[in-house]
Amino acid sequence: MNTTSGGQRGRPPGLPKTGGRSRGTPNRSTAALQEKLATLGCDPVAELVGIAKNPGTEIGFKVSVYALLLRHTVPTPKPIDDSNVGDATTNGSMMTPEEALRWARYVIERFGPNPAPQGEMARQADGKTDLPHKEGEDED
C-alpha cells in the first residue's frame, strides 16, 4: 500500500503505467473465446439481430435482445442525484394525474407503433397542434 498518497492503493497520479496488458488488449479468456467463435464462423451479434428482426419472435424477447445490444453500444448514463426525486418536476410543481395521462397519450401517439408523420411533428414544433402543457401556461 502506498502510504504517501493518503492510504489509496496504486500508483500516484501522473506516473505512467508500467507492465501488464496495454490498453485495449483483451484478456486471455476473452481472446480465446473470440478466436473460437471466429473458427466456428459464429457472430453472436449478427445472430441476435437476426433473431430480433424475425417477425415470428415475441416482442418481449426482441426488447431483451435490443436492450442487451444497447448496453454494449451506448454509454451508460451517470447516476443522478436522487435526493429530490418525486418532490417536483423540473419547473417546480407536481404533475397532476390528468397531466400525466395527457403526457402519456402524447408520447404513445408520437412514438408508439404508428407514430405521427414528420410533417405533423413539425407543425407541433411550431405550436399549431395540441401538445401537452401545464395548466395555467400560456398557449400560443
C-alpha cell at 109: 401517439
Q: Which set of grid coordinates corresponds to residue 97?
A: 394525474
The parent domain of residue 108 ranges over 95-130
Please report whether residue 48 resides in a domain. yes
User: Maximum distance among all alpha carbons in the chain?
Assistant: 66
Whether residue 57 is contained in a domain is answered as: yes
What pTM value is reported for the model?
0.39
Q: Is residue 126 part of a domain?
A: yes
Residue identified by cell 430480433 is 52
**Using an 8 Å Cβ cutoff, are 32 and 39 in contact?**
no
Instruction: Tell whether 114 is covered by a domain.
Output: yes
- Residues 72 and 99 reside in one and the same domain: no
Is position 5 within any domain? no
Domain assignment present for residue 135? The answer is: no
- Specify the residue for cell string 414544433: 125
pLDDT in tens, the chain (140 residues): 445 545 677 788 888 878 777 888 888 998 899 899 999 999 988 999 999 999 999 999 989 988 888 887 777 777 777 665 555 545 556 788 888 888 888 877 777 777 666 555 445 544 544 555 555 555 44
* Structural domains counted in the chain: 2
How far is C-alpha 34 from the chain's CA centre?
26
Rounded CA gap, 27 and 21, in Å?
8
Return d(Cα 23, Cα 61) in angstroms, integer: 35
